[in-house]
Amino acid sequence: MARPGAACPPPARRVMVAARALLFWALVYSYCGLCACIAGLRLLWSIGRRPGETFRWVVRENPPACLNDPSLGTHCYVRIKDSGLRFHYVAAGERGKPLMLLLHGFPEFWYSWRHQLREFKSEYRVVALDLRGYGETDAPSHKENYKLDCLITDIKDILESLGYNKCVLIGHDWGGMIAWLVAICYPEMVTKLIVINFPHPSVFTEYILRHPSQLIKSGYYFFFQMPWFPEFMFTVNDFKVLKSLFTSQATGIGRKGCRLTAEDIEAYLYVFSQPGALTGPINHYRNIFSCLPLQHHEVIMPTLLLWGERDVFMEVEMAEITRIYVKNHFRLTILSEASHWLQQDQPDIVNKLIWTFLKEETTRKRE
């Protein structure tokens, strides 16, 4: 809404804005169609080669033992009053210690933080959340329930429901997007921000429009705009896509990384093989083009950005550009031999870097 007395934009400018919006949405839906065609061709190829295997989908009935490992913490639930949703999380460390809140990416869930739950519980109350729509957290059926403002409010409400008014906030991938936005919208709630393999959202939206290579790498954002078909493609060949994301030479954890065990893979398959388990996670992406770009940009708390250079989904150039949006101490560390799944790929190094950042800032505050 224009301010009283403010001049209206000239007609030429209004036409330009409308034309840019039209071109933007034309790009979105055109690329969505292209990605759908490519996925369809892959499906037909799979049917032609192994028709019996293509439509095999095994629902895992029982969770693997690793999901109930007591060394990871305690399974807990909290119901948010305003939304009425019940969230699942795993908590380690004593109540009353400073809160460290962990936000996972896609297609992940709380278990992707297993190494950090064990590491930081000595000094923090570490909470690894299942985001809205994931795992044992409630999954609203309508995609409108997954708009970014809902996801941001979830974190604020969960923080308050846990009895805290501030935390160290850590996010990876899509959880990194949410962490950036929480830090921007509720800076008083975040003492330190740590993001893994996701740039500042404004960097991402500006960079992707100027670099076709990143646009191609983010093709799944466009593919996910389609109803039901993306979920179906994940189930093909008993979740072959899900397995290959973590284990293939192209997208998985590299040779020098901490590879997922067979039991780790089963943990992911157990969660995402349940009927309807993929719709909530993919709905997170189905609202993104209506929510960006941002109106507010600045991050005012100390920030650590960790980046696996072998990330095939995010170009490393975005990491350095992120610096301009952080109006406080900013530390960037790029790990040359690490993949997109950084906190699982190089847990010892990641944990050491996080400790150094937390201690460094604590020391600096006291001086």
- For the beta sheet containing 86-92, the strands, ordered from the edge strand earlier in sequence to the opposite edge, are 74-79, 86-92, 125-129, 99-103, 167-172, 190-196, 303-308, 330-335
Burial label, 62 (beta-carbon count in 10 A; 0-12, 13-18, 19+): exposed
268 assigned to active site: no
Q: Strands, E, within 98-220: which ranges?
A: 99-103, 125-129, 167-172, 190-196
- Alpha-carbon distance of 240 to 230, in angstroms, equals 13
Q: Which one is catalytic: 138, 173, 311, 345? A: 173
Alpha helices in 50-88 (DSSP H): 51-54
285 assigned to active site: yes
First to last CA, the chain: 46
User: What is the dihedral sign for C-alpha 124, 108, 246, 320?
Assistant: negative
Please tell me whether residue 274 adopts helix, strand or coil conformation: coil
104 to 23, 77, 206, 317: CA distances (angstroms): 33, 17, 24, 22
77 assigned to active site: no
Q: Which one is catalytic: 172, 284, 340, 345? A: 340
Token readout for 255 is 């040779």
Q: Which one is catalytic: 285, 311, 325, 345? A: 285
- Alpha-carbon distance of 137 to 69, in angstroms, equals 19
Nearest to 80, CA basis, from 19, 176, 159, 183: 159
The catalytic site residues sit at: 173, 285, 340
